[in-house]
Amino acid sequence: MAAIELTGLSTVYPNGVRAVDDLDLSVTDGEFFALLGPSGCGKTTLLRTIAGLEQSSSGTIELDGKDVTSVDAGKRGVAMVFQDYALFPHMTVAQNIAYPLRVRRASKQAQQDAATSTSAGLGLSALLERRPGQLSGGQQQRVALARAIAMSADVLLLDEPLSNLDARLRLEARTFLKRLQHDLGLTTVFVTHDQAEALALADRIAVMAEGRIRQLGTPKEVFQRPADTFVANFIGSTPMNLLSGTVRDGQVEVAGARLTPPGDLTLSDGTPVVAGIRPEYLQPGTDGITGVVSIVENLGVTSLVTLECPGEVLVGLTVPEHEEPAVGTTMTAAPAPGRLLVYDGETTELLTA
Amino acid sequence: MRRARDASGLGVARAIGFVSPALLLIGLFLVFPAIWTIYIGLTNYALTGPNSVAPSFVGLSNFMDALNDTLFGNAVWLTLLFVVGSAVLGQNFLGFALAWVLRSARPVIRRTVEAFVLLAWILPSVVVAYLWTAVLDRDGGTLNALLGNGSTAWLVEYPMASLIVFNTWRGTAFSMMLYSSALAAVPPSQLETAKTVGANGWQTVRDVVFPHIRGHVLTNTLLISLWTANDFTPFLLTAGGPNHESETLPVFIYQQAIANGELGYSAAISFLLLIVNLLVSLVYLLLLRRRA
Amino acid sequence: MTFRQMLRRSLYTVLIAAVLAFFAIPMLWLASAPFDSDPGVGLRWPDWTLDNWRVTFSHPYALGSLLNSIVLCAVATIVTTALGTLAAYALSRVHIPGRDALLYVLLLLSSVVTGTAAMVPIFVMMLQLGLINSQYATGLVIAGGMLPAAIFILKDFIDSVPRSYEESARVFGASPGQVLRHVVLPVARPGIATITVWAFVQAWGNFLLPFLLLRDVTEQPAAVLLRTLKDEGGSANLTVIPVFSLLYAIPVVALYLFVSKRYGFRFHGGIKA
């Protein structure tokens, strides 16, 4: 169990691309930490750098207080599960799980014991003599996890752990993974491009883009108060409404309506701003943005209504299942109290008091 | 997806260590001989006699002699015949024809034909030489038996023709397999379109198939021509005879070097062959590269 | 069926039959002559006997040359496979400066420096080194000729082993040697086996190099002896030659069948077009 401390970490490729750009990060002991971002944002590079598979260009990596920046991959006390699980096809499940011990020349008995005890905890006891090719996707993932656990490492790294599973299995595996990490208390960093996955699993999330961390916070913080419009757009199953406008008389003027900014925020007139409000936090009401219903999408328990508002702006709001308005009706979407976010129109950062 | 530059953790130093033994062997037995043959070709080194102990530098005279040597010209001409006849025309056409016709054959028939064609290619050359000697023999030969004509000594009276037929038999397998793959890659929908508009077999080949496989035809032809030009098997059948009538370049080089002991001269000829090989290979690789 | 279709069908059948005959007939000699009590150079229905086999086995050089072939091909194959695999692994995984140029040159070398083109310098080299009649030297020369193509094919195979296997093993603490032994070689085994067989078959059938370099009859492999039998005593030894040809050809055919059954015949002499 260890803390991970990254200081000023940068990885620059020969062609000049800064995959990781002067990054600082602290992961506390036992934390389930997510690196979230679109493809190409540097999250996988960062993970591999922590593992030792890639060399950073500058900065330091400390695991449990020890500087491991120049230490070889196998000697950092880091276990990793790859996206394709990387189970060795010519070895049985038991041999795969025991592999970290085999590398350290542990006795045959020790290897066997490790395989039996680790597999028992993951429900793999019946599969010990099978080959990876004979296992289902979910079983393969558990074998890969078992192998990582058998290593008795201080840190566990997961590269897109759920993306190789089909949709239904993914949700079950998600719950399983969260429980496993909690039971083991193992410091875990995982990479994902799926924001729902990150929100569900992580204790804290680092939202990344272009090699930099845009926001570091708990799932709640990242969801309710995204630090900039990029994060705001990235997080949330339904996209947040981001409406450009200006400040007029201390109010935010967007889409033909005047909205009251959060109580403690003072804005000077004429400032360009972007108003952010999630569709889930807009309700049919009287004081808000008015528009004409153009599309109604059924989401199951709720429906996503798209309003065409003045200035050709589209605003989305969710309504409960029995309250879908008819297309063509005019309605007003009122922000729930305290849920309106105001972003600086130029820097895209969240304006706070 | 950007990949680590060294997934296995070998490191450049160890990697160079891994590659070196192979490179050493290649250097010794491929690179060095190729370069050394230039040097030997500039001397009058011989297998026996005074020039075997103290050869002297003769400059380009070996090359000059070659140009005036009728046997050399003969060898070049015969090699050209051999290549054009058995490779460019024979193996290419037969290989393509087989690939085309077998596409729609019953699996049993296809497998049987392919098996025999392939067998002709994989049998060792010495064995194959005997097989064809048996076929072409004047007295007990199969061909004469089939023709009911008992008196033609094919290898003696028509040596080049025999060699060409032989080599076509020998090497068609490669072209057949290659064209088989190439044809399989032609989109079936295009072939079916041709069929529905009423194109016949020949038109389909010309208009639909050939544009797709044009590159393959060229590279295949280059490759099998290169192999054929360097093929030593004619030696096993006719040893270049009778009277140099089937003495292709490989046989010529051998006779000059070992039978006549003219090592310097034959080295010069070898060098010329290397140059030709180099040119053909370069074109071949360039075409491959461009297609990739 | 229309007349046109019937004509087509019959033409097609005739063509297939002709092709089959063309390819199969020459091979019949191998099936008949070894068992014929009075074998001729030509083809005829044999007078079945196994006498020829007895004579062949008691021929002073016949079985010995088969042994020579095995030794020669074993040397060439082992050297080619071992050195080729190491080189292919390094070239596949590590970005050595000049790697792409090297691969290009290797490909070039294998087509340019053929046995025919190199026969003179190789002969002179071995002569001057006093290595004529050395099985091991000849084996090495043969290996040298096969290595470029072998490296090329092996590199392709190793390229297809997912890098995540090696990275995973590394993260678990395996040294590069362990990674190679535990992970890469087992997974690349089909490719290595294919190359081993390919190299063996190539070496087994190689006539020119042993013919040049192994002049002593007792050192000659089967490929050369088979030819020597023709010249000994002025006329061909037709009792032994057919049997010996069959003996000599069988391993090649067997290996080919084995590889194509196990791994699928996809290497047309090692060239992918």
Of A74, A84, A147, the CB nearest to C173: A74
What b/e sequence results for A130-141 when a residue is b if at least 16 CB atoms lie within 10 Å of its CB, and e otherwise?
A: ebbeebeebbbb
Of A90, A104, A147, the CB nearest to C173: A104
Alpha-carbon torsion angle B149, B150, B154, B156, nearest 10 = -140
Residue of A nearest to C171 (CA): A74
pLDDT at A33 over 50: yes
Give CA–CA dist A321/A302, Å, rounded.
5
State chain B's mean pLDDT as an integer. 87
Of B37, B177, B220, the CB nearest to C120: B37
Contact across the interface for A53 and B4, Cβ inside 8 Å: yes
Contact across the interface for C273 and B250, Cβ inside 8 Å: no
A198 half-sphere exposure, CB direction, 13 A CA radius = 34
Of B105, B137, B254, the CB nearest to C119: B254
Structure tokens at C63: 């079985």
Interface of B with C in 199-258 (CB under 8 A): 216, 219-220, 223, 226, 230-233, 236, 249-250, 253-254, 257-258
Q: Does B197 touch chain A (CB under 8 A)?
A: no
Interface of C to A at Cβ within 8 Å reads: 162, 164-165, 167-175, 178, 182-183, 186-187, 189
| Nearest by Cα to C255 from C198, C192, C206 | C198
Contact across the interface for A53 and B2, Cβ inside 8 Å: no
pLDDT of amino acid B6: 66
Q: Does C66 touch chain B (CB under 8 A)?
A: no
Contacts of C241 in chain B (CB under 8 A): 130
Q: Give C93-96's long-range contacts (Cβ < 8 A, gap of 24+).
A: C93/B6, C93/B7, C93/B8, C93/B10, C93/B15, C93/C158, C93/C163, C93/C166, C94/B5, C94/B6, C94/B8, C94/B10, C94/B11, C94/B12, C94/B15, C95/B5, C95/B6, C96/B12, C96/B15, C96/B16, C96/B19
Chains touching B by CB (3 or more pairs below 8 Å): A, C
Contact across the interface for B125 and C226, Cβ inside 8 Å: no
| Nearest by Cα to B219 from C107, C203, C103 | C107
Give CA–CA dist A149/A141, Å, rounded.
12
Give CA–CA dist C185/A91, Å, rounded.
13
- In this structure, what are the phi and psi dihedrals at residue A171, rounded to the nearest 5 degrees? -70, -40
Q: Does A72 touch chain B (CB under 8 A)?
A: yes
Q: Does A84 touch chain C (CB under 8 A)?
A: yes
Give CA–CA dist B145/B142, Å, rounded.
5
**How far does the CA of residue C160 sit from the closest CA of chain A (Å)?**
14
Q: Does C213 touch chain B (CB under 8 A)?
A: no
Give me the helices (H) in A38-83, please: 43-51
Contact across the interface for A45 and B2, Cβ inside 8 Å: yes
**How far does the CA of residue B62 sit from the closest CA of chain C (Å)?**
14
Distance of CA C169 to the CA centre of its chain: 36
pLDDT of amino acid C269: 38
pLDDT of amino acid A2: 56
Give CA–CA dist B208/B282, Å, rounded.
29
Q: Which residues pair with A298 in a beta bridge?
A: A303
Alpha-carbon torsion angle A323, A328, A334, A336, nearest 10 = 40
DSSP, collapsed to helix, strand or coil, labels residue A331 as strand
Interface probe for A, chosen from B2, B3, B5, B12 (most Cβ of A below 10 Å), is B2
Of B10, B34, B223, the CB nearest to C118: B34
How confident is residue A260, by pLDDT bands cut at 50, 70 and 90? confident
pLDDT at C266 over 60: no
| Nearest by Cα to A102 from A150, A153, A155, A157 | A150
Q: What is the mean pLDDT of residues C132-142?
A: 92
Q: What is the mean pLDDT of residues A5-18?
A: 88
pLDDT of amino acid A195: 94
Residue A202, C-beta contacts closer than 8 angstroms, at least 6 positions apart? A32, A33, A34, A190, A219
Q: How many inter-chain contacts (A to C, CB under 8 Å) are there?
A: 60
Residue of A nearest to B11 (CA): A72
Contact across the interface for C108 and B28, Cβ inside 8 Å: no
C98 half-sphere exposure, CB direction, 13 A CA radius = 7
Residue B123, C-beta contacts closer than 8 angstroms, at least 6 positions apart? B131, C27, C249, C252, C253
Contact across the interface for C178 and A103, Cβ inside 8 Å: yes
Q: Does A98 touch chain C (CB under 8 A)?
A: no
List, for residues A305-347, the tens digit of each pLDDT value: 999 998 888 999 999 988 889 999 999 999 998 889 999 888 8
Q: Does A14 touch chain C (CB under 8 A)?
A: no
Q: What is the mean pLDDT of residues A165-182?
A: 90
Q: Does C95 touch chain B (CB under 8 A)?
A: yes
At how many degrees (to 10) do helices B159-184 and B92-102 cross?
A: 40
Give CA–CA dist C219/C210, Å, rounded.
9
Contact across the interface for A86 and C174, Cβ inside 8 Å: no
**How far does the CA of residue C255 sit from the closest CA of chain B (Å)?**
10
Of A82, A99, A147, the CB nearest to C164: A82
List, for residues A183-223, the tens digit of each pLDDT value: 999 999 999 999 999 999 999 999 999 999 999 999 999 99
Of C90, C166, C226, the CB nearest to B15: C90
pLDDT of amino acid C258: 82
Contacts of C187 in chain A (CB under 8 A): 88-90
pLDDT at C236 over 70: no
State chain C's mean pLDDT as an integer. 85
- In this structure, what are the phi and psi dihedrals at residue C32, rounded to the nearest 5 degrees? -105, -50
Give CA–CA dist A190/A79, Å, rounded.
12
Contacts of C209 in chain B (CB under 8 A): none
List, for residues C66-87, the tens digit of each pLDDT value: 899 999 999 999 999 999 999 9
Q: Is the ipTM of this complex over 0.90?
A: no
List, for residues C168-188, the tens digit of each pLDDT value: 999 998 888 899 899 999 998
Prediction pTM value: 0.79
Percent of chain A with pLDDT over 70: 99
Distances (CA, A) of C104 to A288, B23, B276, C94, C101: 69, 14, 18, 16, 5
Q: Does A45 touch chain B (CB under 8 A)?
A: yes
pLDDT of amino acid B7: 65
DSSP, collapsed to helix, strand or coil, labels residue A169 as helix
| A16 contacts A172 by C-beta, under 8 angstroms | no
Q: Does B42 touch chain C (CB under 8 A)?
A: no
* Triad A225, A226, A228: Cα angle to 5°: 135
Contact across the interface for A73 and C175, Cβ inside 8 Å: no
Contact across the interface for B4 and A45, Cβ inside 8 Å: no
pLDDT of amino acid C234: 55
Q: Tell me how many helices (H) and strands (E) chain A has.
A: 9, 19
Q: Give B15-19's long-range contacts (Cβ < 8 A, gap of 24+).
A: B15/C90, B15/C91, B15/C93, B15/C94, B15/C96, B16/C90, B16/C96, B17/C90, B18/C86, B18/C87, B18/C89, B18/C90, B19/C86, B19/C87, B19/C90, B19/C91, B19/C96
**How far does the CA of residue B234 sit from the closest CA of chain C (Å)?**
12
Contacts of A13 in chain B (CB under 8 A): 2
* Triad B140, C252, C181: Cα angle to 5°: 170
Contact across the interface for B174 and C268, Cβ inside 8 Å: yes
Q: Which residues pair with C67 in a beta bridge?
A: none
pLDDT of amino acid A152: 87
Of A80, A83, A89, the CB nearest to C171: A80
A233: exposed, middle or buried (Cβ count in 10 Å: 0-12, 13-18, 19+): middle
Contacts of B10 in chain A (CB under 8 A): none
Distances (CA, A) of B187 to B183, B200, B207, B212: 9, 17, 13, 9
Give CA–CA dist B183/B204, Å, rounded.
12
Of C162, C174, C175, the CB nearest to A86: C162
**How far does the CA of residue B284 sit from the closest CA of chain C (Å)?**
9
Q: How many residues does chain C have?
A: 273
User: How is residue A107 annotated by DSSP?
Assistant: -
Contact across the interface for C187 and A53, Cβ inside 8 Å: no
List, for residues B184-202, the tens digit of each pLDDT value: 888 888 888 887 777 777 8
pLDDT at C267 over 60: no
Structure tokens at A280: 């889930």
Contact across the interface for B270 and C83, Cβ inside 8 Å: no
- Tell me which amino acid residue B150 is: G
Give CA–CA dist C244/C72, Å, rounded.
18
Q: What is the mean pLDDT of residues C43-61?
A: 79
pLDDT at B2 over 90: no
